[in-house]
Structure 1
Amino acid sequence: MLSQPAVRLLKRLASEGVSPWLVAATGEEFLPDRPSHSATTELLHGAVAPVLDPGTVRRACDALWNAFVESGGGEGRVSVPVDPWLVHDAESLVSAARSVHDEVGRPNLLVRIPATRAGLVALEECLSLGISVDADLIFSAERYEQVLAAYLSGMERALSRGLRLRRISAVTSVPVGMLDAEVNSRLAALPLRGAAVAGARDTAALAVARLLYRAREKRLEGEWWRVLRAAGATPPGLLWTEVRPRHVSSLVGWNTGLAATRKVLEAAAATEQLRGDTLLNAHAEARRALDALDGLGIRIGEVALELEAGELDRLQRAWTLRS
């Protein structure tokens, strides 16, 4: 069960417009017969699950069903992955997503698809078919812009097919912990140390998050979004994943989500203090931070591509071990 400080933290996050999600090692953490079920699911707005059998996924979705209904479909969702060996084959990704969607049969399911080039095609196609998605492994503003374009195109196609947009949702997962860890490692490897290097530590994820937040704001000012919103579409979610305790207080913005393990939530509750919104209208500061990194020879675009490749390799090996 969560401690009282962790419970208070989740409530404060929700009051700031941040949806708390749980990252689980197993499906057992969501099941109704667990003693912590009631306390946990009343506070959680979503869950990032590992590879699970369809029955366990259904039970996880059911555990968060009340949050899904009470929010009008905006919360209470469960994200599960597809086979990462398919990430370069759009047709196979769509087929796998349809299979998971049909087998689970719950409207609060999100099918998690890495946003590779083929993944972007699959994301658009899934949305056009009424399949809700979680676009994973976003490490740069450039890739996020591509995800937003795929989202708008997919929802436009769904609308033209006569689907109810209110029933289709999308989340974009940004592994902020991975990004900060990789950039910090590169900073530590620089031959020269000084104030510039020290000041650049732990700045990459916040800078990228601020640019992503701004990019979504700009997209939601467009004419096509107004058409989709009038038809019942909900804004695509921004979900910070792989978080460290300090990210809980440094990444706060309305209509975002934060996915953490119980261990991270407990640590954050003991060490972090929320200080209000950290993302809104902070894009100029974000660009300065990335310029400072660039001046040190660390280019986020290159880091993003290497992180994507490395994490896909890890996911594929882990999938093979489970098979």
Structure 2
Amino acid sequence: MQVLAQPSPFCLVWDNPDPMAPHYWLSHAIIFKSGDDLRQDMLTLQAIGIMSHLWNMEGLDLGMTPYSCLSTGKQVGLIEMVRNAKTVYSIQRSSKLGAIQVDSSQLFKWIRDKTRAQVRQKGHGCLTKPLNNFTRSCAGYCVATFVLGIGDRHPDNIMVNQDGQIFHIDFGHILGNFKKKFGINRERVPFVLTQDFLRVIAKEKEPKGESGVPEVFQVLCGKAYLALRKHYRLIVNLFMLLLPAGMSELQSQDEVAYLRKTLAVEATEEEALQYFQNQFSEAYDGAWTTKIDWFFHYVKHR
């Protein structure tokens, strides 16, 4: 029996016929993808978009990037390409030590160098803004990926644009349906918070011990979490309504119950914040396990 390989995605680019049109790029690009059920990506991105709206209502601008995704048929669809962005993996590969997860400075250096290039080209700009963009968006995605139980968070599924905004892509595993290796969850932390990220948040300082996590970042994450929890019914009902769709990882109310767990809906606000702070500590303390997974990702794909 011949086994056919899954078709590779390909990029479609359109040029803008009117280069003088305001607020338009000179070209637009999308990815055509076949072989994946993009309805799940659509749902996750819609949920992230709703979270961003809820945070804005609460006075929290976390700079989320819920790019567009459209399922056009059975396991086929279109995905928006985010401009001027690279995967964390490609940034780390610019240094051999970064690629093998020894040097945690490459992400900071990439954002710094992009900012310097913009200053040379445009004559203005400073490093503070992209670093703040990274801090806010990292807080948003830490909370969002935890609440939604998004798995498979290797460095090819996390991207950063030249303005410092971090964002996640490829949502094939949600609601705690994490990949397993020999019956053990490959992801052993609630969300990704590596030294690479903390070095940007701390503005290049090498994070050490508990003091390595800036308090302002912890507070921001806590505020974002409590803001979502206030609107838990909206988030839970969104997923409940789509149960009949038959997505691979949204099959029963047990999977929707995952959201009730991560949002600690049965707890008081004080208990819920303590629960999230415990998850935050677990993510920080277990960051080394993420780095090991990322190292093996490098070995596999180099």
Q: Which TM bucket (shorter chain)?
A: 0.3 to 0.5
What's the TM-score, normalizing by structure 1?
0.33
Greater fraction helix: 1
